[in-house]
Structures are given as C-alpha cells and as structure tokens.
Amino acid sequence: MTSPKLAIQTDLGRMYSRRVGGEATVPSITTIIGMDHVDLTGWAGYMAAKSLSEDARLASSISEPGRMRSLVRDSASAAEIYRDAAAARGDRVHNYAEQWALAELGQPHEVDSARQLLQSHGEQDYAEHFEYWWRDYRVEPVAAEVTVWNQSIGYAGTIDLVARIGGRECLVDYKTKTSDRDGFVKRPDDKVIMQLAAACKAEEQVADAESGQWEPWPYGSDTMLLAVALGPTGSRTFMAPPEAMPNYWAKFYALRRNWEAAFKIARSRATLVEITPPPQQ
C-alpha cells in the first residue's frame, strides 16, 4: 500500500494527521471500509491446496513425514504471500500512474525510474495499458494523489487522480487487477463505490502537508466517480452509479461508527473480569 505524507499506520489501521509529524486523529477511508470483513477462508484454503499440489517437492516428500510437514507449513502461507505480492505490485503500478500524471501536469516527477521498476518485475504491460487508457479517454489531469479530509464525520483519504474527462470533472481510483482465463481484466469490487462516495463527501483538501494548510474541497457535486481496473492485458473503466451513492454512503457512515466503537474499546483495554462466587450465607 502506498503511503501518503499524512498517513500513519497504527494498530487499528491507517490514520491521518493534519500536518507532517502531527498526531493521527482520524481513520483512513480504506481503514473504515476494512471494517466490512469478508470471509476469505475458502480462498485461503484453495491457495494452500494449489501451492501444495504444484510444489515440485511433493512426490519425494509423501513418505517422509518431516519433509511433508515442512511443505504443509510453506503452503499454509500461500494466500498471505500472494496477497503481499499483489499489494507490492499495486504500489508499483500506482506509483507509475502518479508519476505519469505529475509529468503531464509539468511538475517534478520520476516517471522513468517508476517505469524501470515495473520492467524489473516484468510488469511493463501494466504501464503500457495505463498509457493507452490515458490517451483513449483524453485525460486532462488536475491533481494527482490528493489527500482529503472530512472533519464533520472524522475521516481522511487520498484520491489517485482528479481530472477532466469528456468535459466532466472526475475523481479516479486505480485498481490493479489480474486477468481471467479469457484474457479479460477482472472488474473491481463494488466496495470501491463506498471509497469514491467518501472521497466525494470530503470537506477539505491539503494545500501544504508540511505546514498543515488546508483549503475547501470543490468536487462534492456533479462529479463523475470512476474506478479504473489496470491489468496486464488491458484496462476497464467503471462509473459509480449516482442513484446508488446514498446507500453506499449510509453504509460507509455505519462502518465509521463501527470503527469508532472498536477504537474506544481498544483504548480502554476493556475485557472480561473474572469474579468469585458470592459469599456463603
């Protein structure tokens, strides 16, 4: 996961401060959405079984319990390894997209080194398809990696791109995805609608992270919200349906309250208290 300047990792997820070096006071948008837990035990089990079945050492280890236990331990972490690798790839692709946007804006950038990093991991196709998407949609960038804040409810987050596309102001969130067996880039999870709804409801955007200067957020109405799936075989662009936004916002608000309750419980260190039997009469 990329790390915006004002983001701080805590035991209860990523939080944000008002200035560099300041105290973290509100949770991130993605931390709040993370309160909506998804059961991944089936997927984790599949990844473990797949890893074990494809391990070249399996045949020679079946009759040796010690070596077999070692293989089982290795395969048990397959889902975690896959998740971490996907997150690292997502960071590299997001960084390239940010550097590209900065270059287009005429700001200091490191687009060449970001591309070289992707190439060193065999991920140059992600960069190429991102560039195709940018040109096909005739993107006019306004700002990249914009940190926003909602003081009324208490959250912050960072938006991948603010741009004009087709004459409309757009908030864009990139999702790095793999491709299915037919070569089509997989679609993002609909949770991204919550993420975009929360970004749209921001009240401020950072003007200077070092000094903690903020300014009003101007993109709260009539803004198109887009999720762009970037993959090794292409890209796909999805719009958050305006009619669904109130319900997704309501769910996000409920998850924010859930996070706050968990935060207060953690700070109070509340736990069960053992008691003895009542005295004998």
Residue 276's pLDDT is 93
Residue 3's pLDDT is 60
pTM (two decimals) = 0.84
Q: Output the six-digit token pair for 212.
A: 């903690």
DSSP 244: G
Q: Using CA atoms, how far apart are residues 120 and 208, in angstroms rounded to an integer? A: 34
**Residue burial 199-212, b: 16+ Cβ < 10 Å; e: rest:** bbbbebbbeebeee
Residue type, 57: R
Q: Which residues of the chain have pLDDT under 70?
A: 1-3, 38-41, 43-52, 55, 58-59, 71, 78-79, 82
In percent, the amount of the chain with pLDDT more than 90 equals 71
Contact (Cβ atoms closer than 8 angstroms) between residue 105 and residue 73: no
Residue 64's pLDDT is 73
Contacts of 244 (CB under 8 A, 6+ apart): 193
Residue 1's pLDDT is 44
Residue 52's pLDDT is 62
Residue 194's pLDDT is 95
Residue 40's pLDDT is 57
Q: Using CA atoms, how far apart are residues 17 and 30, in angstroms rounded to an integer? A: 15
